[in-house]
Every structure is written in C-alpha cells, then in structure tokens.
C-alpha cells in the first residue's frame, strides 16, 4: 500500500499581531515605570544633597569653635587693588579641614591668589560634599570667564552658595568698601566677614546659611577672581537673569535689593537670577542649611516676606511659623 505523506506538526509560535501586542504592553509598562524610577532617583539625590549640607553645617560650626567666628564669605585684601583684590579664597576653601579634606587644604597656598598658577592643580579638585547628585551641571570643574568669554581659571565645582542676606552688596556703583559690605549684608556671609554666633541676633534656627544653586549658573568652592563674571548657562531658558559680579560664584541673596524694591526670590523662583538659590528638583524649591545645622526643603511657594526674614540675621524680622 502506498504511504500517504503527512505534514509535520506545526510548531506553536507568535503571530505578528501577537508580537506587536506584546511589544506594546512592554512599552506601556516601561512608560509607567520610568516616572517611578525617576522619582526614586530624585528622592535619593535629594537625601544626598541634604546630607552634604548637614556636613557643611557641621564643618562651619567646627570652624567657628576653632576660630571664634564662622568662615568668611571670601577673603579680599580690598585695600590693595580694587574691591575684589586677591587672595579671594572662599568659604568652602576655609572649611576643608573640617570636611575631612585636610590633605587638599594643605596643598593650597592661601598666601597666594586662589587663581595663582601655583594653586592651579589643587583648585581643580572637586570634593564630593560640594556636588549635588541631582544637578545637571555636574562636571567636576567649571571655568571662570571674564566679560569677553576668556577663560581666567578652572576651579572645582560647588552646587552650594552662602547667604549674604537680602541686599546684594556687590551690586553697587561705585563699589562698596568693606564697611559698606558689612553695613549692607544682612546675612552671615560676605566679603571678609567674621560672623559670630552672637551676631546672629534673629537666631540660628531662623537664619539661612547655605543653599543649593544648580542649573542656572556654575559655582565654585574655591574663591573669587576679580575679573570674573558669573554668567547664566542658558540665557534663553532663564531670560530674567544677566551676568553678575564675581562674588556670585560663592554668594547669593534673597532680595529685596536696593535697586529691586519689593522683589524677593525664594529657591527656584521662576525669575531667579544667578545670584539666588536654585534647586534641580521637579518638586520646585531647594534644600537649605540653617545656622543651627538643620536642613530643610524650602518650597518656591513660601511666603516672600517669610523667605526674606529667614535670609536676614540681624533685622529682628522673625518669620514665625512657616
């Protein structure tokens, strides 16, 4: 009898439509998971930034215990060549020994300008404590440039700025001398400052010391170059800000300033300038270190009067509950 050939059994598999359905489901799941993953990453980055600020606060208090006052905003022998004459070393450089960065501190020639060639290698170091992991501008170093865009120095980056108070003493024309800075600065950190605990008459828990500044402009822990100009990274994204004086590589203010009466800028405020605080968080606001060492997240929606009161140390404008 002749055998009849039969087709082999058909192997089970996906049809094209079934495959497309599976791909679509996977894409939907990824789309649902990505925001959750991003939120987890941001939460972790925010916690790390808060930890950085707590370490900075502890270092500042240890510096105060050792020296009788908090670190200066930056040092300038202002009587020897202009308002921002060298050496220019900033508050971050002064607290290095209290941040377990004693080896780096010993490499710095503090008797020379912070931008001197002898210091060029050491000042490119970027201690982790000064870096906010949530910041988009997180390369280890940043460039100090003049108004013409010429590179003057390359410094280690910082995402944290110290509070000079409500007004901006660097913004006056003609430039203020040290007495003028001390009179104008209502916050704890300014040029050649030596703020003591007793000087903070509004109370350490009611006074902003340091806060985040990312995204808008580059900052440094190193110091000030007298010919530098702190410019916005992306002027198209932040049209309300313009390049500012070299002090703003280290310092910020809250407003109102003498030339901007009534204008106050809380962290991440839409009209924020290179000289105010700005956090990188989707939840608008920023982490802030207070004088008592506590760190709090300040929302952009905070009352403007409350933020101005928190930014001063000696005006008697207590913020009350907030």
pLDDT tens profile 273-299: 999 999 999 879 999 999 999 999 999
In the structure encoding, which two tokens stand for residue 198, read together?
A: 């007793």
Q: Is residue 161 part of a domain?
A: yes
- Do the beta carbons of residue 87 and residue 77 sit within 8 Å? yes
In the structure encoding, which two tokens stand for residue 4, read together?
A: 């009849």
Q: Where are the alpha helices (DSSP H) in the chain?
A: 16-67, 91-94, 102-107, 178-184, 304-311
Banded pLDDT at 36 (limits 50, 70, 90): low
- Do the beta carbons of residue 163 and residue 156 sit within 8 Å? no
Q: Is residue 5 part of a domain?
A: no
| Nearest residue to 208 (alpha-carbon basis) of 312, 278, 321 | 312
Q: pLDDT per residue over 64-110, tens digit each? A: 999 999 999 999 986 555 678 999 999 999 999 999 999 999 999 99
- Do the beta carbons of residue 144 and residue 153 sit within 8 Å? yes
Residue found by looking up tokens 């009161």 in the block: 309
Q: pLDDT per residue over 99-152, tens digit each? A: 999 999 999 999 999 999 999 999 999 999 999 999 999 999 999 999 999 999
Q: pLDDT per residue over 229-243, tens digit each? A: 999 999 888 888 999
8-state DSSP, 7: P
Q: Is residue 9 part of a domain?
A: no
In the structure encoding, which two tokens stand for residue 284, read together?
A: 């608008």
pLDDT of residue 10: 53
Q: What is the CA angle 169-171-173, rounded to 5?
A: 105
Count of all residues that appear for the chain in the document? 322
pLDDT of residue 39: 66
Residue 16 scores a pLDDT above 80: no
Q: Is residue 18 part of a domain?
A: no
Q: Where are the alpha helices (DSSP H) in 5-15?
A: none
Q: Is residue 60 part of a domain?
A: yes
pLDDT of residue 45: 93
- Domain holding 178, by residue range, is 36-311
- Do the beta carbons of residue 137 and residue 218 sit within 8 Å? yes
pLDDT of residue 15: 79
Q: What is the CA angle 278-284-287, rounded to 5?
A: 55
Burial class (CB in 10 A: 0-12, 13-18, 19+), 28: exposed
Cα–Cα distances (Å) from 177 to 181, 183, 256, in that order, read 6, 10, 21
Q: How many domains does the chain have?
A: 1
Q: Is residue 21 part of a domain?
A: no
| Nearest residue to 204 (alpha-carbon basis) of 96, 310, 285, 74 | 310
pLDDT of residue 282: 81
Distance, in Å, from the CA atom of 279 to the CA atom of 282, rounded to the nearest integer, reads: 9
Q: Is residue 165 part of a domain?
A: yes
Q: pLDDT per residue over 157-207, tens digit each? A: 999 999 999 999 999 999 999 999 999 999 999 999 999 999 999 999 999
Q: Is residue 90 part of a domain?
A: yes
């Amino acid at each position: 009898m002749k055998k009849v050939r039969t087709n082999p059994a058909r192997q089970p598999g996906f049809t094209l439509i079934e495959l497309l359905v599976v791909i679509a489901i996977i894409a939907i799941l990824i789309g649902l998971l990505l925001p959750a993953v991003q939120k987890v990453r941001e939460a972790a980055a925010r916690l790390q930034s808060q930890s950085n600020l707590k370490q900075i606060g502890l270092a500042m208090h240890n510096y105060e215990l050792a020296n009788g006052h908090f670190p200066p905003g930056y040092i300038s022998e202002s009587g020897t060549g202009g308002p921002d004459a060298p050496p220019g070393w900033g508050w971050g450089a002064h607290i290095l020994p209290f941040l377990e960065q004693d080896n780096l501190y010993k490499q710095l020639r503090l008797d020379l300008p912070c931008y001197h060639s002898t210091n060029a290698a050491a000042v490119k170091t970027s201690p982790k404590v000064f870096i906010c992991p949530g910041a988009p501008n997180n390369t280890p170093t940043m460039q100090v440039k003049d108004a013409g865009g010429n590179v003057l120095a390359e410094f280690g980056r910082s995402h944290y700025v110290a509070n000079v108070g409500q007004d901006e003493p660097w913004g006056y024309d003609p430039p203020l001398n040290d007495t003028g800075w001390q009179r104008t600065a209502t916050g704890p950190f300014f040029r050649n400052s030596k703020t003591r605990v007793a000087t903070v008459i509004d109370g350490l828990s009611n006074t902003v010391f340091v806060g985040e500044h990312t995204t808008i402009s580059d900052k440094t822990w190193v110091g000030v170059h007298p010919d530098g100009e702190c410019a916005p990274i992306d002027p198209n994204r932040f049209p309300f800000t313009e390049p500012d004086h070299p002090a703003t590589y280290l310092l910020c203010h809250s407003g109102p300033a003498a030339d901007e009466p009534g204008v106050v800028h809380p962290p991440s405020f839409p009209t924020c300038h290179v000289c105010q605080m700005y956090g990188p968080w989707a939840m608008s606001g920023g982490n802030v270190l207070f004088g008592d060492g506590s760190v709090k997240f300040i929302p952009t929606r905070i009352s403007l009067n409350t933020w101005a009161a928190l930014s001063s140390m000696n005006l008697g404008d207590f913020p009350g509950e907030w």
